[in-house]
């Protein structure tokens, strides 16, 4: 963990004072950190500290919450951040909302870097739902052997479903209540098509549940499900604050160049 200033407020002589805060925890955030590092920008990445052994971006990193909107606003001011890039996951709705409010109150420009959502193709059998409770309802209605890929924090929503067996794929073990019939599969993407096909076949999965996270790292499960004619419950993304948004790292870097000129 590297904080950009010493307790007495003077700039650390080794790390340059960061001008850009990247709110991270995603592949895009790591790619942006690498691109900014290459281009010689001073930045710091922030992680929530949710997973035990996170993939770290290049460059300085701080880990842990800021303490809500006020905490983030104060952090931006005391570290003299000039631009915030919210590159968090499309389903990390709280930090995205907090970032919009804190940046506005601190008078710091905010840029949202968010990957595009997945779009169903002709072979896909999607059941789109607005949120996790609706996904649980969909499972109650149609699943018997379910691959659950919504992440550790959302498993509890499915805990009272007795009618299905769940293969729960997570990076770290869930701490919430679990459905009575389940197996935990600990793994971290990216996943390829052949191994996803094999996983679905071997476990006789008849329903896949996923958030519409987008991106290429975890998309293979959708292609494998389409090949096998398996229904996919897809949770739509939460609404976001109205801030300038780009979907790729190069666009983010180009906008940052303009903002920091
Ligand atoms: P969240 O519900 O939106 O945020 C909850 C709290 O966690 C925030 O209020 C903030 O605490 C802290 N937080 C979140 N992201 C942070 C960051 N990058 N740096 C510092 N503090 C952060 O977040 P979440 O859905 O739990 O996601 C946590 C992290 O995991 C994010 O960085 C996200 O990019 C990543 N992630 C999430 C998902 C997902 O499906 N949600 C999937 C993959 C990766 P304070 O209020 O104390 O500041």
pLDDT tens figures, 162-194: 999 999 999 999 999 999 999 999 999 999 999
In this structure, the residues whose C-beta lies within 6 A of any atom of ligand 1 are 23-26, 46-48, 50, 65-68, 71-72, 88-89, 91-95, 98, 151, 153, 211
What's the confidence (pLDDT) of residue 51? 85
Q: How confident is the model at residue 19 (pLDDT cuts 50, 70, 90)?
A: very high
Measured distance CA(71)–CA(5) in Å, rounded = 16
Measured distance CA(1)–CA(49) in Å, rounded = 11
What's the confidence (pLDDT) of residue 196? 98
Counting beta carbons within 10 angstroms of the beta carbon of residue 234, is it exposed (0 to 12), middle (13 to 18) or buried (19 or more)? buried
What's the confidence (pLDDT) of residue 14? 56
pTM: 0.92
- Of ligand 1's listed atoms, the one at least distance from the Cα of 88 is 34
Give the distance (Å) from ligand 1 centre to CA of residue 10: 29
Q: Are 24 and 48 in contact (CB under 8 A)?
A: no
């Amino acid at each position: 963990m590297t904080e950009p200033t010493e307790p007495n407020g003077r700039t650390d002589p080794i790390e340059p004072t960061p001008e850009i805060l990247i709110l991270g925890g995603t592949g895009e955030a790591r790619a942006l950190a690498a691109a900014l590092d290459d281009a010689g920008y001073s930045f710091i990445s922030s992680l929530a500290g949710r997973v035990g052994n996170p993939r770290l971006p290049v460059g300085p990193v701080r880990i842990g919450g800021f303490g809500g909107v006020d905490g983030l606003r104060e952090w931006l001011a005391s570290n003299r951040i000039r631009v915030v890039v919210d590159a968090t996951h499309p389903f990390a709705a709280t930090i995205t909302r907090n970032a919009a409010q804190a940046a506005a109150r601190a008078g710091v420009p905010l840029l949202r870097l968010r990957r595009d959502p997945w779009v169903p193709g002709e072979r896909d059998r999607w059941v789109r739902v607005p949120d996790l409770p609706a996904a649980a309802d969909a499972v109650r209605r149609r699943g018997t052997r379910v691959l659950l890929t919504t992440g550790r924090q959302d498993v509890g929503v499915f805990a009272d479903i007795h009618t299905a067996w769940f293969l729960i794929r997570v990076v770290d073990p869930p701490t919430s209540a679990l459905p009575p019939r389940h197996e935990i599969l600990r793994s971290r993407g990216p996943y390829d098509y052949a191994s996803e096909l094999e996983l679905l076949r071997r476990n006789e999965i008849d329903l896949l549940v996923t958030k519409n996270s987008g991106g290429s790292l975890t998309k293979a499960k959708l292609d494998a499900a389409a090949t096998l004619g398996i229904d996919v419950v897809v949770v739509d993304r939460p609404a976001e604050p109205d801030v300038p948004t780009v979907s790729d790292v190069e666009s983010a870097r180009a906008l940052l160049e303009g903002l920091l000129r």
